[in-house]
Amino acid sequence: MMINDDLRSRILADRALGAGNVLHRLTGYGRSLDEDVLWTDGSWRSPSGKYPEMLTIGELHEVVETYAGFYHQAGVRPKDAIAIVSTSITDFALNLMALTSIGAIASLVNANMPSEVRREFIRRQQVVGVITQEPWHEELLQHLDDTAAPKFVALQSDITPEHRDHKPADYPFRHAPNDPILISHSSGTTGIPKAAFHTHETLFHGALSRLADGQDCSIRKRLLALPGHHVSAMSNTLLSLLLGAPVVHHTDPSGRAVLDGIEKHRPAIVFGFTHTFTEMAAEDLTDRDLSSVEAYYASGDAAHEVHIKRLLEKGSHTVTGRDLKPHSASGALFIDMFGSTEAGYVLFDFVHRVGGLNIGRCIGRPMRFVQAAVLSEDGEVLPPGRIGRLGVRSMSLTPGFWNDNVRWHKQWLGGYFLTGDLAYRDGANNFYHLDRTTDAIRTEEGFVFSAYTEEALLREYAEIRDCTVVGLADDGVRFGWEDEGVAKIYAFLDLVDGTVPPMDPTAWVNAGLSRHGLPQVAGAVIVPKDVIPVGITGKVLKRIVREQATALITDS
């Protein structure tokens, strides 16, 4: 089921449409206020104090107008930034729509961020206000003592139905393409997260480009298990509203919880970060009913092929047969969509299917609205087969980092925005992800790419559920892509439940690496499940793993 051509044409012809006014354009496309559009997971409290499971377009308008009235009465004006501190994807989405409706900017802050990091991240943005839930409110009140203190630090429960009467007279705000509407933070794997902001145009440029190409047009139900603060969660929510695709907000991204959500809501499309699908693949799927799923969409870093294959066995997808008619084919699709907070939308995609060609670490070709290149250290575009920094150009890119121009300009090279990844491309312009620049390891034998090495081990040994490869060196020795020091390689292995550990894990791992022609590790350690630290988006914090490595090795 796809959006009809007439509605698609009307949307693409709407020059005022952007990420800041999606809700307010829907009735102009003939959409009914009584249409059911958004399902929640119980993490969102309405202004009336209830926890509704579903909202119509009309109810969304009512909530957004109520929030807008609260903010306007509190002194929030166009271009003011407000920090939304929560974990609920619905909290973030509704506050975003409310703030953009009065021309303000929603800074989406994952409440699970370490408190000291979160305080500094918010302080740097000089927000006008903070809105949150318990149990974070008391701690956030400390911002009232900041040098550039916000006007208020309020609880979302402070918003009541009466605030609807206080929305501004010129409601809703009329956006220009370059008006900022959202600030979203990176995963913060290397320290204080970057605060990338997006505009009325950039946050929706990718989605509208894909719609113009006849892509991403499905109106089937979709479940979003994405981190709520991330641009992917917001752009997919807004796109779903625009298309008329029922959308389920699912705040808990753990594999088991998402499997439960699929069985309950029966979505055709499931969005998540890579770690969610890794956890899903590790579960016993024998008795799980995933028959509704046609496609999994993984945002963020490239997924491991071994995890992808386990999910392809369930569900089905539609193909065009030799008779030129649609038919159902067994197995869901897995679309590995590579992007970032700064990108505003995913930049590459690679489709995995049962029986199809699955190439580990391939992120596919750039989307039509993206230019991509592999760059040398001096900004030269490298030919196929050469490893270098991944750079991109796109109208969907963030215009900058909020209150941090220096950091922003340092992330450009040769006219390309650096994603922070190492890659190469082949002669057909397919790109292959090797590692993050911060995680590559210089050794005496040359560079070791941790993500690529992990991929090889997972492919080699079905007994490994997941693994983490890091470099270790003497104190003060820097051994990354930009550094001259060298390190030794260690692998930390999480084995499938019930697996008998090898007598010599290091020899076992090295035997597998030898078969792939890869450098040997100095040591391999079996670790308990969940001992490897992950960040707020589920990415492994290799910086922390390196700090804890000695203890992990000693305890093994």
pLDDT in tens, the chain (556 residues): 889 999 999 999 999 999 999 999 999 999 999 999 999 998 899 999 999 999 999 999 999 999 999 999 999 999 999 999 999 999 999 999 999 999 999 999 999 999 999 999 999 999 999 999 999 999 999 999 999 999 999 999 999 999 999 999 999 999 999 999 999 998 765 568 899 999 999 999 999 999 998 888 899 999 999 999 999 999 999 999 999 999 999 999 999 999 999 999 999 999 999 889 988 988 889 999 999 999 999 886 656 677 777 888 888 888 777 777 777 888 899 988 888 889 998 899 888 888 766 666 889 999 999 999 999 999 999 999 999 999 999 999 999 999 999 999 999 999 999 999 999 999 999 999 999 998 999 999 889 999 999 989 998 998 998 899 999 998 888 888 988 899 999 999 999 888 999 999 999 999 999 999 999 999 999 988 777 777 666 677 777 778 777 777 766 6
User: What's at 438, amino acid-wise?
Assistant: T
CA distance 156 to 153: 10
pLDDT at residue 1 in the model: 80
CA 313 to chain centroid: 24
Domain 438-555 has CATH 3.30.300.30: yes
| Measured distance CA(385)–CA(423) in Å, rounded | 9
Q: Which residue has tokens 């794997």?
A: 189
Q: Which amino acid is at 430?
A: N
The identity of residue 177, as a single letter, is P
For residue 437, the one-letter residue type is: T
The whole-number pLDDT of residue 476 equals: 85
CATH class of 20-34+51-205: alpha beta
Quote the DSSP letter at residue 521: P
Question: Sign of dihedral through CA atoms 161, 162, 168, 171?
Answer: positive
| Residue 448 confidence (pLDDT) | 94
Q: DSSP character for 403? A: T
Residue 459, token pair as written in the block: 């492919």
Q: Is the dihedral of CA 4, 5, 6, 8 positive or negative?
A: positive
How far apart CA 114 and CA 449 sit, in angstroms, is 28
Per-residue pLDDT at 80? 98
Task: Give me the amino acid identity at 285.
Answer: L
Q: Taking each helix axis from N to C terminus, what angle separates 57-73 and 89-101, rounded to the nearest 10 degrees? A: 70
Q: What CATH class has 252-435?
A: alpha beta
Nearest Cα neighbor of 133 from 43, 31, 42, 246 is 43
pLDDT of residue 207: 93
CA distance 161 to 451: 50
Return the domain boundaries, the chain.
Answer: 20-34+51-205, 252-435, 438-555
Domains 20-34+51-205 and 252-435 share a fold: yes
Residues 24, 202: Cα–Cα separation, whole Å: 18
Find out whether 378 and 370 touch, Cβ atoms under 8 Å: no
Beta strand ranges found along 73-199 (DSSP E)? 81-86, 105-110, 129-132, 152-155, 180-185, 195-199
Asked if 415 and 393 count as a contact pair (C-beta separation under 8 A), the reply is yes
- pLDDT given at position 325: 74
Q: What's the burial of 486, exposed, middle or buried (CB within 10 Å: 0-12/13-18/19+)?
A: middle
Specify the 3-state DSSP secondary structure of 374: strand
pLDDT of 188: 63
432: phi then psi, degrees, rounded to nearest 5: -125, 125
The size of the chain, in residues, is 556
The per-type count for the chain, helices as H runs and strands as E runs, is: 15, 28
